[in-house]
Structures are given as C-alpha cells and as structure tokens.
Structure 1
C-alpha cells in the first residue's frame, strides 16, 4: 500500500541533524537504523528510510574494500569467534568491528569459500551453504541488513515500480497521453524519462514535456548525480519537464539554476487544478 501523504521539502537544518545522528552510529544493522528512526519519529518513515539508505551507501563506498586478503581475514575472524560462541548476532558484531554492513561482511567472507557466481546464489539462498552453522549465520546477517541484502534490493525495486504505476494511473485519469520507456527505447532513444507526454501540459504555468518518477529522497548529491546522468539529457532532447521525488527533497534544491528552468520539482503528482492541458479541437 503506497503512502498517499504529501511530503514537504526538507529544510537543510533538519537534514543536517539527521546526518549528525547518523555519523554517531557504530553499526549499520537494522537495529541501529531503528534506533535512528526513533529519534526522528516525526519524519515520514519512507523519507527517513531513503535518507538512511543513501548515507549508508556513501559510507560503504568509503570503507568497504574487496580483496582476497580481506576475505580470508574476515573468514578467519568468523572461525575464531565461533570456536567460543554461537550467538545469533555473530555476523552483526563482526560487521560492526570492521565498520561495514552485515551483508557486505558476509559477501566478502563467502568469497573466501565459494566462486563469485556461487556467492551470489548463497546470498539469495543460504540453504546452499554446506556448513549449516555458517548458513544460519548468513541468513541472520542478511535479514538484519536493510540496505545490501538481496531482500532489500527486491523491496527497493518493487517500491520504484509501484510509484511508476501510481504516476501512470494519475496520467490516465486525466487522459494525458504518453509514451513510456519501452516505447521510447523502441524508437532508438538510449536515455529516456519514465513518461514522455505526447502533448505537453503546464503545471503552475510551467510547460512539462516529460515526467520522471523517483521513489526516494532527493538530497544534493543524489540530485546532482541524476542531473548529470539523466535530467540534462532529457532536457536537451525533449525540453522542460517534471521530476517527482516522492519521499521529499532538500528544499535548497529549489535554489539551483536548473530547477524552474530545465524542470520543476514536486513530491507528488500535481493536483488537477494546477494542470493546464492543451486540447486539440477537431
């Protein structure tokens, strides 16, 4: 069930306070994230979850490294600790000791045991691991990682698709015809917005030729990444458009030069009263 509550742009002060509390975390497990959520209970769950997800990913880019030596060391740590104890939080404590998420610790550890292709399978199905104790610890570790486990990936993909379908429904309710990504790609476009409108509309007086759905929170780093990789390309090819950050965005984005020139930002599909449709009289 999608949250129908409209999310407002977030002040930088509030965003900075979230970052400050996040930087105090000593764990990247589900439990640590839940503790952070309690401190910001007034912020919509989806918004805070998206912010945490981005912050965890950036932190992992800084501290997570791949190498056979590291994989071997992680496995040795696991063997040493399981000689004396078999608690349910073994993988969590090992991950915390290395400052990485449980799923990333497990992925590296398993690379000391299996081939890369087999590791991917074991992450999705721990019953494939022959060592039953290790299989159990892998399962628990994965279930306690909201960001890097296969289950988390599936959830994020599903949420993104659900909000695209929500946007498609809104367009159809207003009889706004469009071409989706599949149609645009069949026409030879390599980079495409979610929906290219067949006939432009105006939202609060701003002409919109295309709409992009983002089921996440738009902070500055995330937005600049999309601007470079997608949004400038859409503007060059199709003209001005609309970007919907369903879980909110940093209010300072409204002061960037591209916003209200190349495209506008919203946190939901505009109300009918704010939309002007161009109808062709026959």
Structure 2
C-alpha cells in the first residue's frame, strides 16, 4: 500500500475545472516532484492534499485512510508536515523557540504559550536543529538569519510532528543555486533515513531533475505525464508545455497520457 494515494481528484471553482481527474501515488522514502507551467493546477492540488481546499470529487488516502476534506491541523496530526513558498517562522523568537513552539503544538501544550517554556523539550528541539545544520544558530533571532538558513529552520519545524509525509511548496524559492541543492540533498537524505514521503512543487528544473525520484506533470488541471527524470525529460508533451506555446494541447491527449503513464 502506498503512503499517499490520490485517485480521480477534481476541483472546480464556479464552473472552472482547476483539477480534473488526477491520480498518482507516493511511496515512503520517495521524493515526488509536482511540476507544470503557471496555471497548471499545482497549488490547487497541493492545497487539497494539505486540507486547505476540499475536493469536488476524488480520494486522498494517507496510509489507507481518506483525509480528503479534513482540516489542515487534523491532517498535520495524522503525520503530515508542511513548508511554504515564503518561509513561515516567528521573527520575534529565537531559532530554538520556533522549533519548541512546533513541539508544544504537537504535544497539545499550546495552552502553556504564556508560561515559562524556555526549557520545554530543548534537547529534542536541538536535535532537530542539528539534523538540518542549524544547532549553532539556536540562540539567534530568526529575524537576523539569511534566507537559506530560515528555510532550514522551517524544515526543522516541519519535522517536529515526526511526519510520514512532508509537503514542500517551492522549497528553494529565493535561494542561491548552491543553497537550493544543499537543501534538497538534505531533504532527500532525511526522507531516506526517516522513511518520509516527500511531495514538492518546484520551478527550478535543475533541482527537480537532480533530486526527485519521480515526477508528475500537470497542464491545465490534467495529468499529462509521470515517471522518472529521463522519462519526463524526453516526453514530447512535456517539452511542448514547457518550451512551446502549448496550443495543440487537448484534454483528450492529456487523458491518454495519464492512462498510459
């Protein structure tokens, strides 16, 4: 059984079909890239899996349990971590305190927010920071960190609920090329070591082809191709969507591509 199984997923907004009959699977320990041109439906698909949007139709199963339509916090408690295109940390807190807050939430201790929490699970928080290479910055304010370091802190926060599935929305946006590849290499290593399935959206094709185990490609809300890097790189439909005008794209062709992939 796959860790994540998406079957016949669809979403419409006022009659506009943003996602149309999309199906794919993700295995534990695997990095799966969700790519496509602007307007392809990547964010809509991503946000349905995370619970920010409710599907019009279809199933989203995590470890065999249907999570479609559940609230984001309930999905998080089932073992789904999340990072965002624009890194989300508390600038008024230290690096360590940011991770401690995530651990507090995981243990349902948010009611202690205004209590003394300086020592709460400090060892566990430091271990997470050590994993992402940020332990030496633990006492610094997030407000003074370089953006690449903020992304590493955000990854530590996402790992605080010991996720089975990690959703990463444009994880390398705004980062320099070396930082991009270092972050994704770290993510790939953690995915293998901790048996975490990773689904990520990404515009940087060098990151995608270097680090993804498999890729799925959306265009106009439909799945047009899926496979490993070589399969996707040599797919004529994908090249047309990314490099050409896409004028000859048709829903019928996309359906055939999805069925044969």
Q: TM-score, normalised by structure 1?
A: 0.30
Q: If each structure's helix is expressed as a fraction of its own residues, which one has the higher value? A: 1
Q: If each structure's strand is expressed as a fraction of its own residues, which one has the higher value? A: 2
User: Rg: which structure is higher?
Assistant: 1
